[in-house]
Every structure is written in structure tokens, then in C-alpha cells.
Amino acid sequence: MVRRARELGVQPFSAHAPLHGDDDQVGAGASPHGQAVLLQYPGGRWIQGLVAGSDGSLTVVARADVTELVRAQMLATEASEKLVQQSATDGLTGITNRRRFDETLGAEWLRAARTGNFLSLLMVDIDHFKRLNDHYGHVAGDECLRQAARLLQVCVRRAGELVARYGGEEFVVLLPGAEVGQAEELAQRCLQ
């Protein structure tokens, strides 16, 4: 029965133990007293079953269509992940925001103190930004900020380095493990 279900495209999921392995071993290790199993059917249907079995046998005792519940849970998870992403991202430039930068700086500061590694930070300010904004308007100023953010992200190359909007026309580049010379080199690359 399990082999036929797999041939039809049914994907089993268990809340207690992963259901994988040989076709005849699906459900192996399940308690003889029952275990909840979630089955994904082709076409996006989800069925939850209460199964009992042991020694490689699997018997479905009860089942219910939980498609709407699973879909609602998936939507809630996606919304939660999107909210987490949005709370860490600057809405205008799409890079890390000040709040996430502050959190990351705190963690990296403690790590550097614990390990004795270097921690460098670049403060980037766009010269004459107020005049640009006053003369060309806020739309042009916003585009300038987006371009500056993209440029800074292109300059950052090592894993763990972080570019964030600090506020207004100010950006920061956090460089864990970078010595002063490396930070100066990156600053020059950004300026060029």
C-alpha cells in the first residue's frame, strides 16, 4: 500500500519521526499506539492520518483532509518570514536597516572581544546631499541613495561584511575580521 501511494506521488510527513527510507520501511519505528502522519497528495491536497504499525507495517486508522489548514499555516509562515525580512530592511534602498545593523554590531563586537579578532567600521556620508535634494527634488535624492547603496554592496566582497543605511544619507559598512589596512583599502575602492 505504501509503495502504491508513493507511485501516485503521495509524500508522507510525520510530526514525530521522518518517514523515509525503503518503500517497505515507511513508518518504521512508529509507535504501535498511533502516530500522526501528514500526507501530501498530487494537486496540493493534504491528508492527515493517524497510523499504527510496527516492524515496517503501516496501517492508517483515521484520516482527515487538512488542505485548508496546511495552506493557512504555509501562508502564515510566509507572512512571518516576510515580516522578519521587512523589519531588517531599509524600505528605500533595500539594504539592511539601522535596527538590524545595531543588532549585528553588538553581536560582532562581543565576538571580536571574545576572540581577539579585528572589527572595522566605515561611516559613509554623501557630500552635499541636501543641496542635491533641494535642487533636483526628493525623487532624485532617493535614486541617489539607492545607487549609493548598490555601489557599497558591490564593493563588499567577504562573507559576514554588512552594508546598512544608518540614517538619512549616511551608510555604514561593518567589516568583521578586517584590519585597518583592509578597511582603508575597501574605503578607497568605494570612493573610486
Residues marked active site are found at 169
Buried b (16+ CB within 10 A) or exposed e, 19-41: beeeeeebbbbbeeeebebbbbe
Pairing of β 11-14 and β 119-125: unpaired
Buried b (16+ CB within 10 A) or exposed e, 82-108: eeeeeebbbeebebbbeebbeebbeeb
- 17 with 38: CB under 8 angstroms? no
Residue 35: partners with Cβ closer than 8 Å, 6 or more residues away:
14, 15, 16, 17, 27, 50, 51, 52
Q: The cell 540614517 sits on which residue?
A: 167
